[in-house]
Amino acid sequence: MRVPRLLTSLWLVAGLCASGAWAQGSALPAPLSVAVVNRMFDAWKAPVPPRQLAGNVYYVGAIGVSSYLITTPEGHILLDTGFAETAPLILRGVEQLGFKPADIRFILSSHAHIDHVGGHALLKQAVSGAQVVASAADARVLESGGTDDFIPFPRETILYTPVKVDRIVADGDRIALGGVELTAHLTPGHTRGATTWTMQVANASGRFWDVVFFSSASINPGTRLWRNPLYPEIADDLAATFARLRALPCDIFFAPHGGQFAMADKFARLDRGEGAEALVDPVGWRKLLAAAEKAYRDQLATEQIPSPP
């Protein structure tokens, strides 16, 4: 798959939103307007061809929001469903890769924002018997259709069709299917119930790569860390999340937005025939975490909050 040039600019916009970019010492960024959010979201919905990533992990997402299919002999696991408008794209992608949507057994999520779970209700309706899995905190948001969320985007831009959660996962719980295990790591901050998932994938040498599906740990524009009435513990949660993420073994990492894991570059390398080794990037993982934690500590300084040790 040749990565469109437009992808770079779209991921740059996503990165600015995800990082809550601002100049140190300046006022915190204002929440985004309805028009800005809608333009950003619309740009993320364009299709890209589905593809194999590493082993039994496949990309079935859109141009600006990721969705991953993990296949097993006993059925499949879908991680993130994008927007409601991208649900048909995911179903087509699964079929184009030679799999049956009806074989999806679990629908997981990185975090309960509209651009990652907006398609949950449609996917659950389309795939009879698939179980929606989420942390307790994100389950409340999913079942409220986004109303029980603290994100400071305009209300009309963050709501989606509510979906019933069939299984609640706690930190360290595992989803096991067909010899594959995904482990849930609760990494709150971006949402109260953000969940990073990990698994192992066999490589050509017969060894295993540690694969991390990052939940995101960024601060959306307009979100306050100090005295946030909707999420008073956000600063402490993010500090704990960075510590948990640093402790995870990681050879390959994926993320809810392509720009977070250098998707354009890595897909181009896959297109050149470099194989799944092109995705191995422990240095990139450490850089991603360092940048996210720096943005967090910079905002603490701007809000004049002492940084946690």
Whole-number pLDDT of residue 16: 40
The lowest-confidence range among 8-17, 160-169, 250-259 is: 8-17
> What pLDDT digit, counting tens, does each position of 61-115 carry?
999 999 999 999 999 999 999 999 999 999 999 999 999 999 999 999 999 999 9
Residue 300, pLDDT > 70, answer yes
Structural domain count of the chain: 1
Neighbours of 75 (CB within 10 A): 18
Q: What's the burial of 24, exposed, middle or buried (CB within 10 Å: 0-12/13-18/19+)?
A: exposed
> What pLDDT digit, counting tens, does each position of 273-291 carry?
999 999 999 999 999 999 9
Q: What's the burial of 55, exposed, middle or buried (CB within 10 Å: 0-12/13-18/19+)?
A: buried
- Structure tokens that stand for 222 in this block: 């307009």
Structural domain includes residue 1: no
Structural domain includes residue 209: yes
Q: How far is CA 101 from the centre of its chain?
A: 21
The answer to whether the beta carbons of residues 80 and 68 sit under 8 Å apart is yes
Whole-number pLDDT of residue 31: 84
Q: Cα–Cα distance between 294 and 298 in angstroms, integer?
A: 6
73, 143, 181, 194, 212 from 136: Cα distances, Å? 29, 11, 20, 10, 21
Residue 25, pLDDT > 60, answer no
Structural domain boundaries enclosing 292: 6-16+46-302
Q: Cα–Cα distance between 309 and 290 in angstroms, integer?
A: 15
Residue 305, pLDDT > 90, answer no
109, 135, 165 from 131: Cα distances, Å? 12, 13, 7
Structural domain includes residue 24: no
Structural domain includes residue 108: yes
Residue 307, pLDDT > 90, answer no
> What pLDDT digit, counting tens, does each position of 142-164 carry?
999 999 999 999 999 999 999 99
Structural domain includes residue 275: yes
Whole-number pLDDT of residue 28: 74
> What pLDDT digit, counting tens, does each position of 207-244 carry?
999 999 999 999 999 999 999 999 999 999 999 999 99
Structural domain includes residue 145: yes
Whole-number pLDDT of residue 29: 75
In the chain, pLDDT over 70 holds for what percent of residues? 90
Least Cα distance to 213 among 195, 196, 189, 188 occurs for 196
Structural domain includes residue 32: no
Whole-number pLDDT of residue 201: 98
Whole-number pLDDT of residue 30: 82
Phi-psi region of 234 (alpha: psi -120 to 50; beta: other; left: phi over 0): alpha
Structural domain includes residue 21: no
Residue 26, pLDDT > 60, answer no
Least Cα distance to 149 among 82, 231, 224, 227 occurs for 231
Residue 258: CATH number of its domain: 3.60.15.10
Three-state DSSP at 118 gives coil
Whole-number pLDDT of residue 205: 85
**Rg for the chain, CA atoms, rounded:** 18
